[in-house]
Chains A and B, each alone.
Chain A
């Protein structure tokens, strides 16, 4: 809107300049043209022209020129002042406009930037949540697996202990009281075992060879 006003003012100034030049040219033409038409019928006109020339002599013309120059300068000065005011106004408006536009643009950019940051933040949060969930799941599975392995190991240890319990207890008993067991004390136990297996021993002795 301000640009159009500027164009309008410049056009107005141009039109005023053209009109002023045209006026000067017209005045010059009017002064020199009467000499060319020197016919008898125009004697009155010549007389009138002489009067005119007498009235509008060189001083008067110079006066008019000065007045016209002053008026033109005044108009030019006023227009320059108007133009300056308009330019200031336009500049201020342009500044305001630029400020507003830049502020809007900045706000939009900031908004976009903030949105992108929020999106990135959301993505990061989702990623972290997914990672946490995966870690929790993995930890849970690992815990279950470790628990299972511990239970299996425990079962294996218990089974190994149960399988070898006779050896363990025998070793323990021998380590504890082995030196206190005399063969004579074991005689009854040994004879009882031999009696229990007497039939097998006899069969093997009689039929084995």
Chain B
């Protein structure tokens, strides 16, 4: 059965953190096994808990730990990474929703790095391996340049100046 990656694992940094944590746990449990002590799984992070729960693994078993390590190492080496920039720091809920969509629609193990560009205003910038997608409001305005010009001429054709539709009166003043 193919291992799965939880939604909370978003970036390669999270993946690296999981790998290090898993290695530490594996070392601890191996030493306990060598000392023939009672195997007691140390307290794990929330990310690792979600990973273990999602894959129905038992960290006390070396084979499960080994499989998870191999899976994560393989992901770090080969899984695609998408970089998305926003105008503000997104909330975890927002990141989760975007990540869910990416995992469902694009790739089941895709990772995402988040950038911050306040000049974007609204929307986002998506950068994949070789491509760059501009989903900002400015790009949308440029795409609808003719519509904007038509509206502008329509406004100019009217005898009295009117407020821009959609903009509050106080702001326009």
Binding site for B on A (CB under 8 A): 162, 165-167, 169-170, 173-174, 176-178, 181, 183-184, 186-187, 189-191, 193-195, 197-198, 200-202, 204-206, 208-209
Contacts and interface: CB of A to CB of B under 8 A. Distances in A.
Interface in B113-148: 121-124, 126, 128-131, 133, 135-139, 141-142, 145, 148
Contacts of A209: 80, 129
A91 to B, nearest CB: 98
10 contacts: A162-B149, A166-B142, A184-B93, A189-B123, A191-B101, A193-B124, A194-B126, A198-B106, A205-B82, A205-B106
Given A162-B145, A173-B121, A201-B106, 13 more contacts: A165-B141, A165-B145, A166-B138, A170-B138, A173-B122, A174-B121, A174-B122, A184-B94, A186-B123, A187-B98, A190-B98, A204-B128, A205-B106
Q: Is the interface of A mostly helix, strand, loop or mixed?
A: helix
B86 to A, nearest CB: 6
A200 B131 contact: yes
B135 A204 contact: no
A173 B148 CA distance: 14
Nearest to B172: A176
Interface of B: 80, 82, 86-88, 90-91, 93-94, 97-98, 101-102, 105-107, 110, 121-124, 126, 128-131, 133, 135-139, 141-142, 145, 148-149, 152, 167-168, 171-172
B128 A190 contact: no
Nearest to B105: A198
Given A166-B141, A177-B171, A183-B91, A204 B129 contact: yes
Contact of B141 (A170, A193, A200, A202): A170
Contacts of A181: 121-122
Contacts of B106: 198, 201-202, 205
A205 B107 contact: yes
Contact of B131 (A162, A177, A201): A201
Nearest to B100: A191
Given A165-B145, A166-B145, A190-B98, A208 B130 contact: yes
